[in-house]
């Protein structure tokens, strides 16, 4: 009996998941394992084969370490933002950073009452990451630091906040744009598993570098995880981890075999749940064979070039705007935060297993132009009713987002977001991750 041929016939060919109960005689038959995931049970006089024919697909997400040159720039930009907000919560900040060998430059538009030592922020941030000598890619104490900061355009200032005269509910969006928030029930964080694992692997690399577990590690590095998924009527169900890729900067002394052994034992094993690994999981551990030159010495870096890593690892959608170095009037950031909270609340409240929320703005206009909800067919009630609930529970005006999510507070609050993701983190400073209970009547 050719089970593959049976499964492909007729209306079953277009079905994503199909349960078939086959009653077979006790005679021997070819093993179906190459086609299906079988479950056997004994019945009197016959053998019953309960078969789940499941169509799966592969999806990949990547992440980069805090020592990646682009991420270095994100962290410097957000460190500047934190410093401004700490002294002046009404600071208007659009801070960009770029870096290359032996050089870091901060530039942009900042209007603030704060007294900021930009050079000190740059050097302190580089040093904290681990860039303490030219051997590792940058020397925090001796690199050139260039600063070119001007004030916010008065044209933008009058249109957005009226030169700080408008009430919070009157503050307009700092620019046009559209932002997306996403949530899925496949992980406790309500984030995609492929993204969660890639991000946590990168964070673990930094942890074992800084605590001395793997002293051969250097700051730069990248991770990537491919997960095999099943689409369960719109909800994403992880089946297994298909491939793990880690490329990490290292010193001259370590061998490739030592790198592979340490990465499996001290990075992969503590992060990836054993249930997702099997004998077919593929590992690519420093596949290029050598990664000694890294950081800004290996590649130029620029703020805002890792926006997919910052969000959902390729899932959902992205409006294109970066986050780091931007104060809350920039809806690229605050708008993305509020729609993440909305999407997460939809899933956490049981309204859907998976959801995406979009919001759009016009510069200088407080009210959003549009709000959109899609639950990918997983909603317990129609999407139009979920949209109504979202609009009743969330205030999408930029000035009110800043208040409701407490986004004018500095410290190291935004610096923490600039590496290892803005979403799915358990940290009280990530106020947009707090679920807002949504009341609805179950059908």
Judge whether 140 and 123 are in contact, CB under 8 Å. yes
Sheet holding 46-54, edge to edge: 17-24, 46-54, 37-43
Selected catalytic residue, list 71, 161, 266, 297:
71
Dihedral pair phi/psi, residue 402, rounded to 5°: -60, -40
* Annotation marks residue 169 as catalytic: no
70 is catalytic: yes
Whether 7 is catalytic is no
Is position 96 annotated as part of the catalytic site?
A: yes
Rounded to an integer, what distance in angstroms lies between the CA atom of residue 130 and that of residue 62? 22
Residue 204 · residue 269 · CB < 8 Å: no
Catalytic residue among 35, 107, 109, 391: 109
Sheet holding 103-111, edge to edge: 144-150, 103-111, 92-100, 301-302
Q: Which of 299, 385, 395, 429 is catalytic?
A: 299
3-state class of 404 per DSSP?
Answer: helix
* Whether 164 contacts 151, CB under 8 Å: no
Given the residues 175, 185, 332, 433, select the one marked as catalytic.
332
Q: In b/e form, how buried is each residue of 222-246, taking b as 16+ CB within 10 angstroms?
A: bbbbbbbbbbeeebbbbeebbbbbb
Annotated active-site residue 71? The verdict is yes
How many distinct helices (H) and strands (E) make up the chain?
Answer: 12, 16
260 is catalytic: no
Reply yes or no on whether 306 is catalytic.
Answer: yes
Active site (annotated) includes residue 299 = yes
Q: Where are the alpha helices (DSSP H) in 211-330?
A: 256-262, 269-271, 295-298, 307-310
Residue 217: HSE in the Cβ half-sphere, 13 Å Cα cutoff: 31
Give the H/E segment covering residue 355.
strand 354-361
Residue in 123, 195, 218, 222 annotated catalytic: 222
- Residue 301 phi, psi (nearest 5): -125, 155
- 300 catalytic residue (yes or no): yes
Task: Choose the catalytic residue: 260, 300, 317, 348.
Answer: 300
The one catalytic residue among 7, 59, 62, 70? 70
Catalytic: which of 305, 333, 354, 422? Answer: 305
Query: Annotated catalytic, 429?
Result: no
Active-site residue identified among 200, 242, 330, 333 = 330
What angle, rounded to 10 degrees, do the helices at 69-87 and 118-129 form? 130
User: What angle, 0 to 180 degrees and rounded to 10, lies between the N-to-C axes of helices 383-393 and 331-348?
Assistant: 120
Q: DSSP string of 143-167?
A: SEEEEEEEPPPHHHHHHHTTTTTS-
Active site residue 418: no
Q: Which residues pair with 146 in a beta bridge?
A: 105
Spatial CA neighbour of 306 closest among 289, 327, 286, 321: 321
Instruction: Tell me whether residue 330 is one of the annotated catalytic residues.
Output: yes
Residues with catalytic roles:
68, 70-71, 96, 109, 222, 291, 299-300, 305-306, 326, 330, 332
């Amino acid at each position: 009996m050719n089970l593959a041929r049976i499964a492909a016939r007729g209306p079953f060919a277009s079905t994503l998941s199909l349960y078939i109960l086959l009653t077979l005689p006790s005679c021997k038959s070819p093993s179906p394992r190459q086609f299906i995931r079988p479950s056997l049970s004994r019945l009197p006089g016959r053998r019953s084969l309960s078969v789940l024919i499941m169509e799966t697909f592969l999806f990949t997400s990547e992440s980069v370490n805090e020592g990646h040159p682009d991420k270095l720039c994100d962290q410097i930009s957000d460190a500047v933002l934190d410093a401004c907000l700490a002294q002046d919560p009404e600071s208007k900040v659009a801070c960009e950073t770029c870096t290359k060998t032996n050089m870091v430059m901060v530039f942009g538009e900042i209007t603030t009452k704060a007294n900021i030592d930009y050079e000190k922020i740059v050097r302190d941030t580089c040093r904290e990451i681990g860039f303490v000598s030219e051997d590792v890619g940058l020397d925090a104490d001796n690199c050139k630091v260039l600063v070119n900061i001007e004030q916010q355009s008065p044209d933008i200032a009058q249109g957005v906040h009226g030169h700080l005269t408008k009430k919070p509910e009157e503050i307009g969006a700092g620019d046009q744009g559209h932002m997306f928030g996403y949530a899925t029930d496949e992980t406790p964080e309500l984030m995609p598993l492929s993204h969660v694992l890639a991000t946590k692997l990168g964070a673990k690399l930094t942890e074992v570098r800084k605590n001395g577990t793997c002293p051969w590690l250097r700051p730069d590095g990248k991770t990537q995880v491919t997960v095999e998924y099943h689409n369960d009527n719109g909800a994403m169900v992880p089946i297994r981890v298909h491939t793990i890729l880690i490329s990490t900067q290292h010193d001259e002394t370590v061998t490739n075999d030592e790198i592979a052994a340490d990465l499996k034992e001290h990075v992969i094993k503590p992060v990836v749940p054993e249930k997702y690994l099997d004998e077919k999981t593929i590992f690519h551990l420093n596949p290029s064979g050598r990664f000694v030159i890294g950081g800004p010495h290996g590649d130029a870096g620029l703020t805002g070039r890792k926006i997919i890593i910052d969000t959902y690892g390729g899932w959902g959608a992205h409006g294109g705007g970066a986050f780091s170095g931007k104060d809350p009037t920039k809806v690229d950031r605050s708008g993305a935060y509020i729609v993440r909270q909305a999407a997460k609340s939809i899933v956490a409240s049981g309204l859907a297993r998976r959801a995406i929320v979009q919001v759009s703005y016009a510069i200088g206009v407080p009210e959003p132009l549009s709000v959109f909800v899609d639950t990918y067919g997983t909603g317990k009630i129609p999407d139009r009713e979920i949209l109504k609930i979202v609009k009743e529970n969330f205030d999408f005006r930029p000035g009110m987002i800043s208040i409701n999510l407490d986004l004018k507070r500095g410290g190291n609050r935004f610096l923490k977001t600039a590496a290892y993701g803005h979403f799915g983190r358990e940290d009280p400073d990530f106020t947009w991750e707090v679920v807002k209970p949504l009341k609805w009547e179950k059908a």
